[in-house]
Amino acid sequence: MKNRFSVFICLLFLSLVACAPVRVNYDYERNTDFSKYKTYNYFQDLNIGMSELDANRFLDALDAAMAAKGMMLSDSPDFLINVQSNAYNVGSQSSVGVGFGGSGRNMGGGISVGIPVGQSTLNRQIQVDFVDPQGGGLFWQAISEDSFYQDDAPEAKEAKFKTIATEILKGYPPTKK
């Protein structure tokens, strides 16, 4: 009985860690009139930093999220979108300490060693910039960070990119506080 409870707790912990939310940071130009931006397109020389298949999956997810916001892809857009991505390893944040010590009369000593537990994870950062091509420059930016697995099935990647695109656009247009 005690063993089953321990296994349940471990599985619960792992499922919570695996479902960690996408973290997104937003920034924008305060004096921008966001209501004038209804149509968009992408930069001509877009180099996302993902495989071509993943780039297409992400752009499809972003297009769907933009349409849900009421914006349309256009050949004569109000603004352009630039997307950049990079992957990086995050080392294990857990360690186990092992210590040895001794004492005798007026002498003492000790050694402590931290042993890393777990593997490093692969994270992906995706930056989405909205740029006014009529000279207004960069007016809105979102940077997302999330863990990912290169060997995920295509369906899992599509679902992940849909979640990321939706989370990115939650901050657009920004609400004045």
Give me the residue spans of the domains in the chain: 22-169
Name beta bridge partners: 125.
86, 145
- What is the CA 140 to chain-centroid distance, rounded? 17
Distance CA 109, CA 11 (A): 40
Q: For residue 12, what pLDDT is reported?
A: 42
Q: For residue 94, what pLDDT is reported?
A: 56
What's the DSSP call for residue 12? H
Mean pLDDT value across the chain: 82
Q: For residue 121, what pLDDT is reported?
A: 77
Weakest mean pLDDT among 73-82, 97-106, 133-142: 97-106
- Phi then psi for residue 66, to 5 deg, are -65, -40
Topology adopted by domain 22-169: Double Stranded RNA Binding Domain (3.30.160)
Q: Please, is 90 exposed, middle or buried when counting C-beta atoms within 10 Å of its C-beta (0-12, 13-18, 19+)?
A: exposed
Tokens 């656009």 map to which residue?
A: 169
Q: For residue 136, what pLDDT is reported?
A: 84
0.85 exceeded by pTM:
no
pLDDT digits (tens, 9 = 90+) for 142-169: 999 998 888 899 999 999 999 999 999 9
Distance CA 172, CA 72 (A): 15
Q: Quick check: 15 pLDDT over 60? A: no
Q: For residue 175, what pLDDT is reported?
A: 84
- Phi then psi for residue 61, to 5 deg, are -65, -40
pLDDT bucket at 63, cuts 50 / 70 / 90: very high
pLDDT digits (tens, 9 = 90+) for 91-128: 655 555 555 555 555 555 555 555 555 556 789 999 99
